[in-house]
Structure 1
């Protein structure tokens, strides 16, 4: 779609004073998908030269905001880590064409803040931390679960940039389980739940997304019993936190959230029905 209110596109490598009507341009798959009458200028990130993926000596993984879904998918297929299958599972949750995969970015998916954003699901489930950079060059870090504050809402100040997301090596070493549900065969995720079992201390994390307005990551020092898991979800997720749109009523999303969470608990505890 043509954005006929945009009058200029500037290179993000240049120092420009942030103005009302500015927007960061990564892959542009959202920006150019619908009218953006409030925009006047795009700040293009495509020539920043950031490494898409950086697997560090300590085992952690830094994913640049400009990393495309295609790049992340290919990387996940070669990653030697227990959690590697989760990369492909979340990439496929886009249900998008190869053209979108080659343009859409991890950072764009997070900054849209949509409940069904599968990069939110992936990075929240693996205890990801966002690196944010302000216009004055100062930086701060915030957990993905705190970065997304609601449906379409995120913890970003005017002109602040999501530079990257870092996944700790400890999380990449976890055994994971993935469940997704939609009202339609090729529809947007109505519920997406991910479990992660830490082989070091036996702790378990369960992350609920798509069915809720923001990601909820629950941590247990040991895998919970069925009743304990249900109680923890009920305590963490309020009635108003279950999302409501054309892709699913809150009651259905709540039901699927509990159902998929229990399936994951059973898978990660090898069918123990405690």
Structure 2
């Protein structure tokens, strides 16, 4: 939709350009920004896509995704040797259920920075222990786990003036086995629950619950969790919520089933496939 209150658009090219004046708002893909009216206080946009950031880069530490990397680009990153978790990139991109047009402009950073419960890129990052690299307005940087950055449905710990620069996925997580399950009230509906499991090379387990919860919930185990223990831990989650895409009770119930399926797949040693 048109944002009739916007008077100017600035194209950022240097870090200094990201210091916001009164009324300015950062913009990447803009898929959420232009989907609904913005507060009257928002009178100008600062375009991040002109910063020229490399969309993705393989490093000795793992995989770095620029905040401006599109969801479509994320889904087509080629696998490197040993990246057993690679199919999860495509799966979480698909879990957004966005049209190909939206995926070509929607960004990794936008999905994380908005922090919505249905943000499957948040789930991906939480499941792979990704860190968010944040540029602070005073010129310093800080890093925080994406799982800790998103603290509610549409609520993050990003302070005013802070910019999400990149997401960094560690190599050890990319080499892990993964499994995922998703459910919605309709075949093409927004995710009502999304569960991702990961087994590291040392045998440690991570199970992430999201979409059903207001924030990504990370459960960790030294080895294969017993069925009863996993079921108990899922029931004890305190972040269920109700919206038009599912009631809290339904989300709790189906998440328990999905978590069991993820656990059984990984316990059987079946690799995740696209």
SS at match of 1:254: helix
1:194-250: CA deviations, max 9, x gaps? Answer: 000112x11110000000000011110011101111222334x11xx1021000000
CA deviation vs aligned residue, 1:51-81 (integer Å, no higher than 9, x gap): 11111123x1111000001111110x54441
How many Å separate the matches in 2 of 1:57 and 1:252?
42
Measure, in 1, the Cα distance between the counterparts of 2:267 and 2:79.
27
Q: Which runs of 4+ in 1 moved over 6 A?
A: none
TM-score calculated relative to the size of structure 1 = 0.93
Cα RMSD (Å):
1.3
Q: Which residue in the other structure is 1:43 paired with?
A: 46
Give the counterpart of 1:260 among 237, 258, 261.
Answer: 258
Q: Secondary structure at the match of 1:162?
A: strand
Which of the residues 131, 134, 137 maps onto 2:136? Answer: 134
Which residue of 2 is the match for residue 222 of structure 1? Answer: 223
Q: TM-score, normalised by structure 2?
A: 0.93
Which residue is equivalent to 1:234? 235
Unaligned runs of 5+ residues in structure 2 are: 270-274
Residue 47 of structure 1 aligns to a residue whose secondary structure is helix
- Count how many residue pairs are aligned between Structure 1 and Structure 2: 265
Aligned mates of 2:150, 2:158 — CA distance in 1: 9
Deviation at 1:98, TM superposition (A): 1.2
Displacement, 1:158?
A: 0.7
For the residues of structure 2 that align with 1:146 and 1:215, how far apart are their CA atoms?
A: 8
**Superposed displacement of residue 257, structure 1:** 1.1
1:133, distance to aligned residue in structure 2 (A): 0.7
Matched with 2:267 is: 269
Aligned to 1:101: 103
Aligned-partner SS, 1:222? coil
Aligned counterpart, 1:196: 198
Counterparts of 2:192 and 2:74, CA distance in 1:
23
Alignment partner of 1:68 is 2:70: yes
Q: Distance in 2 between matches of 1:20 and 1:189?
A: 36
